[in-house]
A and B are shown apart, each in its own frame.
Chain A
């Protein structure tokens, strides 16, 4: 005797399985999926839970009926733009400055790396740029001069008062008057003084300057008196941008679709209804009744004389600035935006979901829960079922009666509803999900094993062992058990398939293990988000994975069935 009997028993089925072509295919596919589960962190291209975001220097051009995405200006977001005649400047994050060069844009080197928030051309010459870390840049000929700040501040807006001076506003309610030639900065007291952020400033037709900011704050600075006074525009929303046309029409935009419009220098501010409630970041208006506003998630709206109409844009990028020159309208952005519902690409092989998470990585990780629940659940089932079957079949009598009546009761419980209830009762967790799929299924195994044991225990070799004085345990596990092994393997395989489907079902109903990724869970998300009808890349792969895995298991179990049932073997 070279091998213990149970090993010999195990080798038999394997040899038989290898003769079945479908079983071999099944084994190979299973092998691949098991490898996928084991190596998931290595072969996944992304963190499956990572919300993928991109920052991009996006430029959108208003076409005939939609705002079209044009060539990107590098990987950094653009924050503001201004033009004078043919000259134009765009500023953005980390010291990004672009200058118009014919039909193209040319990167300008500036001696700072802070985020730049605003740019303004002087009435006749020069330009100013302001930004975080008290950055103030003045254009001198071809180059840029850094102006020393009086104290640290994050500067958000700039507007020229006259050809020699400008007003700068900041996020800490700073109002600075800059003498451009000397670089001297005078701090002006704000009428509020509570540190509310000012976001933008523009020069009004009467020579005063109007700054807007958080909580509907509006401050008017009169260069004649040198004092800043509080103004009321009729909103308590955070205001992000102000634009005043030469003739006095003005537009202020802000959070939550805030649109404050003034038709002329003497007209009252009126609050318009926006067709979208998301944040607006930049607005533009002229004296001829044209106006446009852009904001988060690629929203753009245009004034048609009576109401604001939502324009279609090609992208979900966040728009922060407008550059309007005649009929050429540009919208610029985009700080980090979520790459949601992207179709498969080189970056995301299976595309992304509604939160911009990589679906390929999710599917790869999803295999882990499926196999874990599948194999652990099935092992548990077979362990309980086999032992109950062995004991009941071997001991007979009262033990058998009690065990088999329990099995009978379990047969009266419908599987799927019970699993659902169990998870709902105990709160979803991996353990509960495994228990839910295995707590009932062992009933089949117990019955099958018992009936086999019933006939085995009367066989001569068992009787011989008993006569030889072997203990009950020894007889059960060393003599009888190897003979029911093929059946055990068969049941194991079938139940792996059942468990995988059961886990997928629970996850699909939102009852899977929390914050874990599974194939059923991916489908649950897809359905819940409502995007499954367009995002085929979202709902096809997980289903195919489940199907292929379970199918492979079935192929394997089919060949095991031949092993377990010699009568079938004879004819195949």
Chain B
């Protein structure tokens, strides 16, 4: 099988996966979730009034018809109107996704920026006290749930010391108009510090340990022994030879992490009142807002699938041992 056909096949598979996920979701939501108009009763609407609202949402049509409409629209990037916001879903989802991604990417960059070199360094000092401490700290933050560390951070830095804002993305009054206008401010940075730190600390463990362990593996390889035999300085061996060869698993992990980032860390968004996609999908499912829930989930799935595809392609490019099967 040539590399090209392999790639085409993989892309096709990715699209197929997305379609399967969309279909399962569509029916799962419609069968499993309560009527989206149920909550209107508490607002005093009678059955006829609710029926009118259902018609407005297009829920009076047969399910299969709704399904095909959903599919044909989805292909065109059109996800319909949110039941609760009465606004096009796409706009809401992109805005929330941007909020989530900026938080997650900042945290991931921070975690990998620190974790990878630190991991390499720890491998060099393997067995030492520093090594043990490094592993311990990395694993500790990996083990502590983020909602808890987040709460403690808010408690210390937000409430007790009043050093940091405790929620949201910016301070009142708002005058920014566009997304970049909003994000490229010191105020935004200020609001992002705590949540980014919390997520970054949680993520730190993976690059740290993966880097350390792959480095240890690489040390056993022949070319390192060769370099040693040649009398190259240890530092050069570490950074020029070993590290470069140990990067592939870390990059893989990085891609997977970015892929999952769209799903965000719902708890972090909840704890810090961050208006992200994770919180949105939770609300959408809770309020039976089918279009919004479907679109949010599909975007998350698309992210994961795309990044997984990227990893595969990366492997075929970087690691000749992978055969195109």
Instruction: Give yes or no for direct A-B contact (beta carbon below 8 Å).
Output: yes
Interface residue? B177 (CB, 8 A):
no
Question: CB distance A509 to B139 under 8 Å?
Answer: no
B window 256-306: CB within 8 A of A: 260, 262-267, 270-271, 278, 281-282, 285-286, 293, 296-297, 300-301, 303-305
Question: CB distance B297 to A546 under 8 Å?
Answer: no
Name the residue in A421, A523, A539 with the highest tally of chain B Cβ atoms < 10 Å from its Cβ.
A421
Cβ distance A267 to chain B, nearest Cβ, rounded Å: 45
Which chain B positions have C-beta within 8 A of A533? 155, 159
Which chain B positions have C-beta within 8 A of A561? 213
Contact of B143 among A520, A551, A571 (CB under 8 A): A551
Question: CB distance A411 to B266 under 8 Å?
Answer: no
Contact of B266 among A408, A509, A520, A540 (CB under 8 A): A509
Question: CB distance A408 to B17 under 8 Å?
Answer: yes
Name the residue in B18, B148, B286, B304 with the highest tally of chain A Cβ atoms < 10 Å from its Cβ.
B148
Interface residue? B167 (CB, 8 A):
no
Which chain A positions have C-beta within 8 A of B136? 22
Which chain B positions have C-beta within 8 A of A548? 143
Which chain B positions have C-beta within 8 A of A540? 152
B-side interface residues, number (CB < 8 Å)? 57
A window 532-570: CB within 8 A of B: 532-533, 536, 539-540, 542-543, 546-551, 554-555, 558, 561, 567-568, 570
Question: CB distance B20 to A409 under 8 Å?
Answer: yes
**9-residue interface stretch from B45-53, B84-92, B216-224, B228-236:** B216-224
A-side interface residues, number (CB < 8 Å)? 48
Decide yes or no: A546 and B143 within 8 Å by CB, A412-B308, A509-B266, A509-B267 being known contacts: yes
A426–B34 alpha-carbon span in the complex (Å): 11
A411–B285 alpha-carbon span in the complex (Å): 22
Which chain B positions have C-beta within 8 A of A408? 13, 17
Interface residue? A349 (CB, 8 A):
no
Per-residue 0/1 for A60-80: is the Cβ within 8 Å of any B Cβ (1 yes, 0 no)? 000000000000000000000
**9-residue interface stretch from A123-131, A353-361, A500-508:** A500-508
Contact of B216 among A414, A426, A543, A571 (CB under 8 A): A571
Interface residue? B145 (CB, 8 A):
yes
Decide yes or no: A547 and B266 within 8 Å by CB, A412-B21, A421-B285, A424-B285 being known contacts: no
Nearest to B205 among chain A residues (CB) is A554
Decide yes or no: A413 and B265 within 8 Å by CB, A568-B213, A571-B220 being known contacts: no
Which chain A positions have C-beta within 8 A of B264? 416-417
Which chain A positions have C-beta within 8 A of B216? 568, 571-572
Question: CB distance B219 to A571 under 8 Å?
Answer: yes
Question: CB distance A523 to B139 under 8 Å?
Answer: no
Which chain B positions have C-beta within 8 A of A413? 21, 301, 304
Nearest to B302 among chain A residues (CB) is A412
Contact of A414 among B20, B219, B304 (CB under 8 A): B304
Interface residue? A474 (CB, 8 A):
no
Question: CB distance B151 to A539 under 8 Å?
Answer: yes
Interface residue? A527 (CB, 8 A):
yes
Interface residue? B176 (CB, 8 A):
no
Which chain B positions have C-beta within 8 A of A549? 143
Name the residue in A417, A497, A555, A572 with the highest tally of chain B Cβ atoms < 10 Å from its Cβ.
A417
Question: CB distance B308 to A543 under 8 Å?
Answer: no
Interface residue? A420 (CB, 8 A):
yes
Per-residue 0/1 for B129-156: is the Cβ within 8 Å of any A Cβ (1 yes, 0 no)? 0001001100110111101110110010
Question: CB distance A409 to B17 under 8 Å?
Answer: yes
Question: CB distance B213 to A417 under 8 Å?
Answer: no
Cβ distance A413 to chain B, nearest Cβ, rounded Å: 6
Interface residue? B227 (CB, 8 A):
no
Nearest to A526 among chain B residues (CB) is B151
Decide yes or no: A416 and B304 within 8 Å by CB, A22-B132, A568-B213 being known contacts: no
Interface residue? B161 (CB, 8 A):
no
Interface residue? B186 (CB, 8 A):
no
Question: CB distance B143 to A550 under 8 Å?
Answer: yes
A426–B31 alpha-carbon span in the complex (Å): 10
Question: CB distance B155 to A532 under 8 Å?
Answer: yes
Nearest to A424 among chain B residues (CB) is B285
Cβ distance A341 to chain B, nearest Cβ, rounded Å: 16
Question: CB distance B148 to A539 under 8 Å?
Answer: yes
Which chain A positions have C-beta within 8 A of B270? 509
Interface residue? B55 (CB, 8 A):
no
Decide yes or no: A424 and B286 within 8 Å by CB, A412-B304, A532-B155, A551-B140 being known contacts: yes
Question: CB distance B148 to A543 under 8 Å?
Answer: yes
Decide yes or no: A547 and B301 within 8 Å by CB, A408-B13, A533-B159 being known contacts: no
Interface residue? B32 (CB, 8 A):
yes
A546–B159 alpha-carbon span in the complex (Å): 24
Question: CB distance A412 to B263 under 8 Å?
Answer: no
Taking A412-B301, A424-B285, A548-B143 as given, write out 10 further A-B residue pairs in contact, using a Cβ cutoff of 8 Å, ordered by the A residue number.
A409-B21, A411-B305, A414-B262, A414-B303, A421-B285, A532-B151, A533-B155, A540-B152, A543-B145, A570-B220
A-B CB contact pairs (8 Å), 10 listed: A405-B13, A409-B16, A409-B17, A411-B17, A416-B264, A509-B266, A543-B145, A546-B144, A547-B148, A550-B144
The 6 closest A-B pairs by CB, nearest first: A414-B263, A425-B32, A543-B148, A550-B143, A551-B143, A547-B144
B: which residues have CB within 8 A of A? 13-14, 16-18, 20-21, 28-29, 32-33, 126-127, 132, 135-136, 139-140, 142-145, 147-149, 151-152, 155, 159, 213, 216-217, 219-220, 260, 262-267, 270-271, 278, 281-282, 285-286, 293, 296-297, 300-301, 303-305, 308
